[in-house]
Structure 1
Amino acid sequence: MKVVLQRVNKASVSINDHLFNKINKGYLLLVGIKDSDSSDDIDYLVRKITNLRIFEDDNGKTNLNLSSVNGEILSISQFTLYANTKHGNRPSFVDAGEPNFASEMYDSFNQKLLDAGNSVKTGQFGADMQIDLQNDGPFTIVFDTENK
């Protein structure tokens, strides 16, 4: 699995020009899944994301995690994280997970984030979505379970 995490002041997702979900301070997650991903990969990412300390404390040090700042998560499925651009100018997405499997994994990932005590909102798997965000920092971290 690959997750691009952006610390945001706010973020929203719209579908067909209608607001679908929004959050204030927290994380925007772009989530890519491939067929060889497992529940162990989900557990690893949930633990890392839940405990990640990238919010500033009173001394300006990044010592606080999401729950310490009452932050929220907006989780967006994004198969394009597995784009292969080695040949030609048109990306191939053959490394992205088969849609039924990826959808189940995405739902499981979001449920486990919720079970870990996070406030989680999502986009709609497979939909054409428009994402608006205000990156805070900017602060962006890439997680790849192939490099735990």
Structure 2
Amino acid sequence: MGNRNNNTYNNGNYKPKSGCKIVEPYKKGEGVFIVGFKLFDGVMRNVKIFQTKNDRKNYQGKTVKAQISSDIVKSGSGKKWVQVTMTMEAPFKETLFANGLMDLSNHKVYFKDLNWIVNPKASNGGYIGKHISKNYN
């Protein structure tokens, strides 16, 4: 019958729509720094995810509007979480900001407002996109 999927890695037509990876912390002891890319609204955007301090932090001259903390919070299931900020930048487009939670055990980041997940350890080179869960309502 053959392969019906025309978007496979084998035939060369596949173009990735997102990807990310963990990079060295930008300062020792400052936490995890994730960089990546995401095709969003038809535009390829650079994505940066980082932990911030309790004070309002300036990022490339722009103030992150939300009050976010680098404190580690332990959930009822025993997982450790930390709040993070994501920036999405593209040439000639407005920079987008979002706040989320990172699971420190596997470095997955959840953005509830966007219904997105960021998984830098995905087998396809990292994933940024829709969060699909069996427990999702």
Q: TM-score scaled to structure 1, two decimals? A: 0.27
Higher relative contact order (CA 8 A, sep 6+): 1
Specify the structure having the higher radius of gyration (Cα).
2
